[in-house]
Amino acid sequence: MIKKQMKSFTKKAVGNQLLAVLFLLFSLLLSGCKSEPSPASLQRIIDRGYITVGTLYGNTSYYLDAEGPAGFEYELAKKYAAHLGVELKMMPSYNLNDLFEQLNSGEVDLLAAGLSVTNDRLQQYRFAPSYDDVSQKLVFKQGNIRPRKLSDLTGSLAIVAESSHVENLTRLKQSSPELTWTVSHELDSEELLLSVLAGEIDYTVVDSNTLAINRRYYPEISIGFTVHKAEPLAWMLDKNSDDSILASLVEFFGQVHHNGVLLALDDKYYGHIEEFNYVDTRMFIKAIEGKLPKYQPLFEKYGQDMDWRLLAAISYQESHWEPHARSFTGVRGMMMLTLPTAKQMGIKSRLDAEQSIRGGAKYIKQLVERMPARVPEPDRLWFALASYNIGLGHLNDARTITKQQGGDPDRWVEVKERLPLLKQKKYYKKTRYGYARGDEPVNYVENIRRYYDTLIWMDNQTKKLTPQPELAVNVVDE
């Protein structure tokens, strides 16, 4: 009986061992089938016909507007894809942890998300050539006591997890042991700014470019002090990525630096927000809430050939939405038309708000159409607005000077640097139309761009709060 039991036990043991061996072999076979993601290479990108780029949702990187994808990083990545002759696949993330995981797992070929080049990151990743730099600002709510140094912080400080802000504050803590902060994995920099305004936290740290954009919408955000001096921004690559990608990025950034593409792109998103005026911004937001509703239907009616919000921004710059406004030069009304221009546009009364808006919209459209066809958008529009302010002749004089100095006369970012030269005799004496206060159209256009951005943002906020009718959706099986 005992022998039978031992024999039976031995068979079971051998059977279990055999099953274990087979299971091990099967596991090894499966693991062999799971190949590790191969490092990104330029040839692989070209062979498959597209490049995948990781980025962050936000108004400095990637967002969706009425016309589709937009954002500084998106446009720059699109130009890089075109440089390679492939399609662009943008892979946006909601936080930095997910973004880095995309790169580490091989899901994306590179990251384009306004990432600072820091010492810690250089140990883990590779970087393309820098295209900009930003400093880090500690911010608080206007009206509270301004902190001027780390030892002045008396309340709660929160920053974005995995950000370069963590690295810099950790370094600063070595000399300031009393410094404390919390990190947020859920909120991004813009959301933390809102938390400061809501009184939920006292301080946060934000990059200077993000701050510049958001102060147009939230003028109560104030700067305490600079936490860290300017750091370079660059696209990030996996440490094991193929050298061919880095080489192509060096070539690409060399080209866009040289041909002015990067300068124009930087001007498009940041050129008009370098200066911040708290009083003016606050007054404009109050005017949007108080005055604009009365005239918005008119801007929408006559802004059919352009965004009505742009027409409204121009009118605010001209008259602050005052129908009876007038200047010492004799221009009058909502759009501050000259008498000859009003007659040319068929306007009988410049003091009638509707007539003035109609005439201004018609005149601006004509100015845009008079710009050379080779001038790209949005430069055509900025040129048209500058000529609305200073006259087409003076604008063309500035474009001529730009060309003579080796600049591109078809780019606003280059021409706006030469417009102020029309005040200097050594320049204007050689021009066709002579002296002009060339700094005024520069300020004029940049103000309109700021007002326009703010109007877009506030209009979008209103739409989010307005219940939308439910739409029937047809589901189609493909």
- Active-site positions? 318
Half-sphere exposure of 115 (CA within 13 A, CB side): 29
The three-state secondary structure class of 178 is coil
Asked if 57 and 92 count as a contact pair (C-beta separation under 8 A), the reply is yes
Neighbours of 318 (CB within 10 A): 23
Q: Residue 266: is it exposed, middle or buried by C-beta count within 10 angstroms (0-12/13-18/19+)?
A: middle
Which region, left, alpha or beta, applies to residue 6 given φ > 0 means left and ψ of -120 to 50 means alpha?
alpha
Half-sphere exposure of residue 49: CA atoms within 13 angstroms, side-chain side: 0
Write the DSSP assignment of 351-394 as a string of letters: TSHHHHHHHHHHHHHHHHHHS-TTSPTTHHHHHHHHHHHH-HHH
Query: Residue 166 and residue 181: Cα distance in Å, rounded?
Result: 9
Q: Which of 182, 284, 186, 214 is nearest to 60 (CA)?
A: 214
E strand or H helix at 126, and its extent? Answer: strand 125-127
Helix axes 353-370, 308-319, angle to 10 degrees: 110
22 half-sphere exposure, CB direction, 13 A CA radius: 6
Looking only at the bridges linking them, the beta strands covering 157-160 and 182-184 are parallel
Q: Take residue 111 and report the two structure tokens written for it.
A: 């990251």
Q: In this structure, are residues 86 and 45 in contact, taking their beta carbons and an 8 Å threshold?
A: yes
Which long-range contacts (C-beta less than 8 Å, at least 24 apart) are formed by 378-384?
A: 378/268, 378/412, 379/264, 379/410, 379/411, 379/412, 381/310, 382/412, 382/416, 382/445, 382/449, 383/412, 383/415
Pairing of strands 110-111, 182-184: unpaired
Rounded CA-CA distance 238/107 in Å is: 11
Cα(75)–Cα(73) distance, integer angstroms: 6
